[in-house]
Amino acid sequence: MASLTIRKLDDNVKTYLRLRSAKNRRSVEEEVRVILRELIEGREEPLTPFAVPPAASTAPTPQRTGAPPEASVTLIIGGGIAAYKSLDLIRRLKERRVEVRCVLTKAAQQFVTPLAVSALSHERVYTDLFDPQSEFDAGHIRLARDCDLVVVAPATADLMAKMANGHADDLASAILLATNRKVLLAPAMNPLMWNNAATRRNLAQLQRDGVALIGPNSGEMAEAGEAGIGRMSEAIEIANAAERLLRPPVPRPLAGKRVLITAGPTHEPIDPVRYIANRSSGKQGFAIAAAAQAAGAEVILVSGPVDLDDPQGVTVKHVESARQMLEQVQAALPADIAIFAAAVADWRVANEGDQKLKKTSAGMPPLQLVENPDILATISKLTDKRPPLVIGFAAETEHLIDNAKSKLARKGCDWIVANDVSPATGVMGGDRNTVHLISRKDGEIAVDSWPVMTKEQVAIELVAHIARSATEKPLEPAS
C-alpha cells in the first residue's frame, strides 16, 4: 500500500492540516487519518475558522500600495455581460484608495470568475449565503455593514426586482436587505427590460427607498443589432459616483471670497538689535486664516514675527513693524472680508538708532515714542476700497464689553471680537480663548458671548458667522 509523505503535500494543504490538527490537538498524521475515516464514513467536517479559505488560497498576496485605504465598498457583481466592466471598476476604486470586497451572484460567475475578481481585489470573494467559512469570517451581515457603501454593478433587472421587493434568498439580496449603508446601483440590461413596466415600478420604488443610481447609458447592446438605454455606465463613471457618495464635497461657504487677515505682534525697532514687542503668539489669526481657507476663501495673511508654520494654501506676507503691516494690507486690497487680529504696537520709537545704543555716563537714552498708524481704523474708513465686512479684535484687560463697544464706534469697523487678555486668562500665547462678538443689528449693538473654546474652534465659529451673514446680506463683491 502506498505511503503518504506530508512534507510533499501542497503548501495550502499542509497549512490547512497543521492548523486543523493544532485546533483538534492531534498530530498531523492522526488528523489525516481522521479526515480519511470521515470521508469514508461520509461525514466531512465543515471548514473551521482555522481553515485556509478556498478563495484566499488562489488569491495573490495583497498588494502593498503604501497608502492605507480610506474607505471600503462591498461590490455586488450581478449576472450580465457588463460584469466584465466590474473588473475594471475594482481597479478604479482601488486607485481611489477604496478597499473592495466582492460578492458574485451565481449568474455573475457565468461571466467573470471568482479567481479573476479575487486577483484584482486582493481579497477573498464571497459567493454563497450558506458558506460556513464566510458566515463565520464575515457573514452577510458584516458584508452589509462593515463597509461605507454597497455598489451593485451590474445591477440586473432581477437583482433590482429582488431588492425592490425585499427578497433575501441569496448572498447578494441578503446583503442588500441587511445593509444600513448607502447603495449605488449601476443598472445594465436590455432596453426592453429597462423599459418594461415591472422594471419601471421597481426602479421608482428603489429611488423612493433612497438608493442612488448611475446610468444606464444608451448605446449598442451585446445582442446583435439592438441599441437603446440599458448599457452599464463605464467603470470610471461608477467609480466617480461612488467617490461622490463616499466623500461628499466639503461645504465651501466662502468660495470666491477674498479674505485679508492680520495676525501676530509687530516689532518696533529701537536700534538694529532691540525692539518693542508684545506677547501675541499669532495663533488666533493663523487659526482664522486656516478656517477661512478651509471654507473655500482666497486668504492673504499679513503676519508679524511669530513662531508658527504658514497655514497651507494661504498667501502669507511676513512683516516686522506696524508700518510694514499697513503697507502690505493696503497692497492686498481689494478684499471681501478683512479681519484684524494682529496685536499691533500702538507706538514706535521716533528716534530709532542707526547703531546699537550704548550705555553712557549721561544715563538712559531718551526714547521718543510716536503713534503708529491704526491699520483697522484706516481700512474701515476707506471710501473706495473698504472691504464690505471689516472685523476688528479688542484685546482688553478690564471693562471688556464697554471698551470693545467704544472701539467698534471709534474704529468704524462692522464687528469686534472682544477678548479678555488679562494674564490670568492665559489667552496671550495660550491655546484657548473666550470671546464676545460685538456687532450692529438694526441700529443696536448686539453682544454674543461664546463659551471658552480652543482658538481653532473660535476661528471655525467666526468663519461660520461670516458665511451666515454673507448669505443673509450678500457682501458686495470686492472690486
Q: Give the residue ranges of the annotated binding site for CTP.
A: 346, 356, 373-376, 393, 407, 411
Closer of 159 and 400 to ligand CTP (Cβ): 400
- Residues forming a β-bridge with 338: 260, 390
- Residues forming a β-bridge with 74: 101, 150
Asked whether the bond before 451 is cis by omega within 30 degrees of 0, the reply is no
Q: Least separation, in Å, of the C-beta of 342 and ligand CTP? A: 4
The residue ranges that bind ligand CTP (CB under 6 A) are: 262, 322, 340, 342-344, 346, 372, 374-376, 392-395, 407
Query: Residues at the annotated binding site?
Result: 346, 356, 373-376, 393, 407, 411
- Burial track 402-433 (b if 16+ CB lie within 10 A, e otherwise): ebbbebbeebbbbbbbbbbbeeeeebbeeeeb
Active-site annotation holds for 278: yes
User: What whole-number distance in Å separates Cα of residue 361 and Cα of residue 294?
Assistant: 57
User: What whole-number distance in Å separates Cα of residue 56 and Cα of residue 122?
Assistant: 9
Closer of 17 and 287 to ligand CTP (Cβ): 287
Closer of 199 and 328 to ligand CTP (Cβ): 328
Asked whether the bond before 68 is cis by omega within 30 degrees of 0, the reply is no
Please answer whether residues 301 and 316 qualify as being in contact, where contact means their C-beta atoms are separated by less than 8 angstroms: yes
User: What whole-number distance in Å separates Cα of residue 288 and Cα of residue 263?
Assistant: 9
**Radius of gyration for the alpha carbons in the chain, expressed in angstroms and rounded:** 34
- What Å distances lie between residue 233 and 120, 125, 197, 213, 312, CA to CA? 20, 23, 22, 10, 37
Closer of 135 and 346 to ligand CTP (Cβ): 346
Closer of 102 and 416 to ligand CTP (Cβ): 416
Please answer whether residues 236 and 253 qualify as being in contact, where contact means their C-beta atoms are separated by less than 8 angstroms: no
Q: Least separation, in Å, of the C-beta of 288 and ligand CTP? A: 12
Q: Which three cell numbers stand for residue 278?
A: 508684545
Amino acid making up residue 316: V
Closer of 191 and 392 to ligand CTP (Cβ): 392
User: What whole-number distance in Å separates Cα of residue 247 and Cα of residue 243?
Assistant: 6
Q: Which of 202, 278, 419, 433 is catalytic?
A: 278
Q: Which residues are catalytic?
A: 278
